[in-house]
Amino acid sequence: MKLTPGDPMIDPDDFWVFGYASLMWRPGFTFAEAQPAALTGYRRDMCFLSIHYRGTSDAPGLVCGLMQSDSDVCKGLAYRVDRADISTAMDYLDVRELVTDIYIPRHLPIVLTGGRTVTARIYVADDAHAQFVGCWTDDEKAAAIVRGTGSEGRSLDYLANVVAHLHDMGIDDTHLTALLKMSRARGCS
């Protein structure tokens, strides 16, 4: 399991993973419980060119990443993993999330629904990576979202799933909702 220098180890008897995009609907690992959670100081955005899962090198799509933002709180879903399942879960997640090393694995504090703070494994955006496009305009992002199709499907479907799952959890992400609307309109033209 990769660990960012300076990040604390996570207690194996209270091991959490924070999902803010596809991990919300397709975690892919065994977990003991799931509950809504919040991460302070980060925001979710379609900020990475996807050349594998939601696009190709010739026609990259976009996927979400967590970008630092002092004034934001990112809401998502936290999964508690039993001690016996940690190694398998982390091996799976590192292969899945680090396929092109666009994320940096971190151990950061999150607040669970009941108000308890725990440390969780979180994959945050590497804004120095060549695939990072967090500074693109929404119009540039919508163009990539519409064209991208990769081994896991269309980038547009990915964004629609993120927005739908956030909505189901009662989370209003106005930026991603607007980006989805813009992308759908662009795809019809």
Query: pLDDT at residue 78 above 80?
Result: yes
The Cβ of residue 169 has, within 10 Å, a number of other Cβ atoms equal to: 13
Total domains, the chain: 1
Alpha carbons 151 and 55: distance in angstroms, whole number: 8
In Å, what is the CA distance from 20 to each residue of 93, 154, 166, 171?
14, 18, 9, 11
On whether residue 5 sits in a domain, the answer given is no
CATH of the domain at 73: 3.10.490.10
On whether residue 8 sits in a domain, the answer given is no
In Å, what is the CA distance from 160 to each residue of 97, 154, 187?
20, 10, 13
Residue 185: its H or E element: helix 174-188
On whether residue 143 sits in a domain, the answer given is yes
On whether residue 110 sits in a domain, the answer given is yes
On whether residue 47 sits in a domain, the answer given is yes
Query: pLDDT at residue 189 above 60?
Result: no
On whether residue 159 sits in a domain, the answer given is yes
pLDDT tens-place string over residues 31-63: 999 999 999 999 999 999 999 889 899 999 999
- Mean pLDDT of all residues belonging to the chain: 92
User: For residues 40 and 68, is the Cβ–Cβ distance under 8 A?
Assistant: no
On whether residue 3 sits in a domain, the answer given is no
On whether residue 166 sits in a domain, the answer given is yes
Alpha carbons 23 and 74: distance in angstroms, whole number: 14
Domain span at residue 40 reads 15-183
How much is the pTM? 0.91
Question: What is the average per-residue pLDDT within 69-83?
Answer: 95
Site of tokens 């929404």: 138
